[in-house]
């Protein structure tokens, strides 16, 4: 029976693409991509020539049923996003759920995702943690921070460069200036950097440095 493959892609360094991921992308009938241009560069690098269909947050509601219908009619499909594992702060959940409801097999390959190396590299406890992803930009943001501030577990956030300083300042406001934090940017790339310290100190560091790239913020849990 045909199936849906969930295929992680590198978050920066193309050498992090697994041999299995390359094999699967080369064998499926079509590939679903968050950005066809970005994925096109990856596919070209590995010599993969397959039909690519745009699948992102703006059209997933409209085309998910069409995708499952194609798979039910015998086509193999693979889902990729711009970087990392589909479904982790990227499109993917809706399609996986629809396939499960249609009894379509789903096979998820292991591979790159940004929060795991950032968490392990932070030096903070990672036996138990909360992955928060992106905070709500406006509505619900403050109530979410109030909930997270008292958790005894390490908390992991994703953040974009234009919101980094605002988020660090708010985390310091809610969690306390002295709460330990590790901020990683441009993971696996040439200018990869991890800055560790207190929330106040790390916020001050990034005020004095150019803020570029995608960020993972790892905050220590509340000590009892």
* pLDDT for 223: 87
* pLDDT for 210: 82
What is the CA angle 165-167-171, rounded to 5? 120
Kind and range of the H or E element at 193? strand 193-198
How is the chain split into domains, by residue range? 4-108, 115-219
pLDDT-derived band at 51 (thresholds 50, 70, 90) equals very high
Span 115-219 CATH architecture: 2-Layer Sandwich (3.30)
In this predicted structure, which of 1-5, 139-143, 163-167, 220-224 has the lowest mean pLDDT? 220-224
pTM of the prediction? Answer: 0.93
Question: In 3D, which of 135, 123, 211, 130 has the Cα closest to residue 174?
Answer: 135
- pLDDT tens digits, residue range 158-196? 999 999 999 999 999 999 999 999 999 999 999 999 999
215 strand-pairing partners? 159, 185
**4-108: what CATH class?**
alpha beta
Average pLDDT over residues 88-113: 96
């Amino acid at each position: 029976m045909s199936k849906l493959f969930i295929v992680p892609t590198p978050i920066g360094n193309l050498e992090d693409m697994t041999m299995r991921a390359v094999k699967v992308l080369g064998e499926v009938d079509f590939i679903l991509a968050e950005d066809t241009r970005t994925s096109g560069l990856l596919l070209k690098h590995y010599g993969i020539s397959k039909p690519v269909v745009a699948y992102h947050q703006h059209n997933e509601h409209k085309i998910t049923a069409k995708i499952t219908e194609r798979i039910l009619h015998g086509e193999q499909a693979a889902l990729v996003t711009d970087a990392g594992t589909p479904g982790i702060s990227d499109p993917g959940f809706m399609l996986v759920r629809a396939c499960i409801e249609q009894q379509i097999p789903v096979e998820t390959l292991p591979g790159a995702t940004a929060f795991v190396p950032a968490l392990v590299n932070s030096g903070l406890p990672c036996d138990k943690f909360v992955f928060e992803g992106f905070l709500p930009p406006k509505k619900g943001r403050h109530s979410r921070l109030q909930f997270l501030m008292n958790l005894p577990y390490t908390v992991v956030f994703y953040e974009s460069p234009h919101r980094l300083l605002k988020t660090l300042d708010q985390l310091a406001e809610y969690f306390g200036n002295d709460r330990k934090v590790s901020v990683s940017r441009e993971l696996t790339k040439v200018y990869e950097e991890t800055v560790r310290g207190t929330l106040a100190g790390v916020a001050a560091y990034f005020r004095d440095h150019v803020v570029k790239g995608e960020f993972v913020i790892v905050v220590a849990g509340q000590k009892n």
